């Protein structure tokens, strides 16, 4: 049975090395060259099995890793003794230093490239339009806005503005005719009394177009008070239809005279 698998694509050997380092979760400053070299070579062998073209850059990096690995495995050279001077090989020299520096620089560049791609994606959502010359749409003979005006016209406009300003400073006190619930109870009961016992009257008949909100609410409260005093009976023939009031009190319903209503 043939097993097919897909390899990730990398832009170059440094990109592949960064991927292996991040995948292994190791410090880029302390790369285990032996482990990374084995993983790198396995990837190249996988590319060969899939008959993919391996560029020279990948091969050069493979040679570099093998060179670094061999330098780490070789023993340090002996001390060279010179008269009045002892020469030692630099103990701080690390064959990986140059590769680590290249990887750090490549990681910075790759991070900046990602930011630039995000900025490009955001900018691609914005559409602009170059300015156009609107001269052909302007009338050839454009009359001046003040053409034909004289000093007298300016004086007349100034007097008109002063008169408007004077009207703005004047004010009037507007008073509203207050109507109490008790007064509306009297009005509703009188309208029903004229129809006699069992007479019916619709709520809309008590309203007119010139009524404001305060009068409508007062009328509705008056109906509630009459229902509370059992002077009327209210019902609706269907849902949300007009309220129908039916008179239950007598011709001289005494409860209306003694009702203590202060609103």
CATH number of the domain that residue 227 is part of: 1.10.10.580
Pairing of strands 232-235, 200-202: unpaired
CA–CA distance, 25 with 65 (Å, rounded to integer): 19
Within a domain: 155: no
20 and 95 share one domain: yes
Residue 1, pLDDT > 50, answer: no
Residues 193 and 101 in one domain: no
N-to-C CA span, the chain: 95
Instruction: Name the pTM for this structure.
Output: 0.37
21 and 115 co-located in one domain? yes
> Does any domain span residue 140?
no
Buried b (16+ CB within 10 A) or exposed e, 29-62: eebebeebbeebeebbeeeeeeeeeeeeebeebb
Residue 227 inside a domain? The answer is yes
Q: Which of 42, 62, 45, 57 is nearest to 10 (CA)?
A: 57
User: Could you give the percent of the chain with pLDDT greater than 90?
Assistant: 5
Q: What is the pLDDT of residues 95-133, one digit of tens each?
A: 778 888 888 888 888 889 889 999 999 988 888 888 888
- Asked if the structure places residue 188 within a domain, the reply is yes
Which of 114-118, 145-149, 159-163 ranks highest by mean pLDDT?
A: 114-118
Which range of residues forms the domain containing residue 110? 13-122
Is 113 found in the same domain as 21? yes
Q: What is the domain count for the chain? A: 2
Q: Could you tell me if residue 164 is inside a domain?
A: no
Question: pLDDT per residue over 43-98, tens digit each?
Answer: 888 777 665 666 677 778 888 888 887 777 777 666 555 555 554 555 566 777 88
């Amino acid at each position: 049975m043939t097993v097919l698998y897909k390899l990730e694509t990398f832009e170059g050997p440094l990109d592949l090395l960064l991927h292996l380092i991040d995948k292994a979760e190791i410090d880029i400053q302390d790369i285990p060259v032996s482990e990374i070299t084995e993983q790198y070579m396995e990837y190249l062998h996988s590319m060969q099995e899939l008959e993919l073209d391996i560029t020279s850059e990948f091969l050069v990096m493979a040679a570099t890793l093998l060179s670094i690995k061999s330098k780490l495995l070789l023993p340090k050279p002996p001390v060279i003794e010179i008269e009045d001077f002892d020469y030692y090989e630099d103990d701080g020299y690390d064959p990986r230093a140059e590769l680590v520096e290249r990887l750090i620089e490549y990681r910075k560049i790759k991070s900046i490239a990602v930011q630039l791609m995000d900025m490009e994606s955001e900018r691609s959502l914005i559409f602009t339009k170059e300015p156009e010359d609107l001269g052909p749409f302007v009338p050839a003979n454009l009359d001046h806005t003040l053409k034909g005006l004289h000093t007298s016209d300016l004086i007349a406009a100034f007097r008109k503005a002063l008169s408007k300003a004077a009207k703005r400073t004047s004010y009037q006190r507007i008073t509203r005719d207050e109507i109490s619930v008790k007064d509306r109870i009297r009005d509703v009961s009188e309208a029903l009394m004229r129809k006699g016992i069992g007479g019916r009257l619709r709520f809309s008949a008590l309203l007119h177009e010139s009524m404001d909100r305060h009068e409508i609410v007062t009328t509705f409260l008056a109906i509630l008070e009459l229902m509370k005093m059992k002077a009327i009976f209210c019902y609706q023939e269907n849902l949300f239809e007009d309220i129908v009031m039916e008179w239950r009190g007598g011709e001289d319903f005494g409860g209306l005279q003694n009702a203590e209503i202060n609103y």
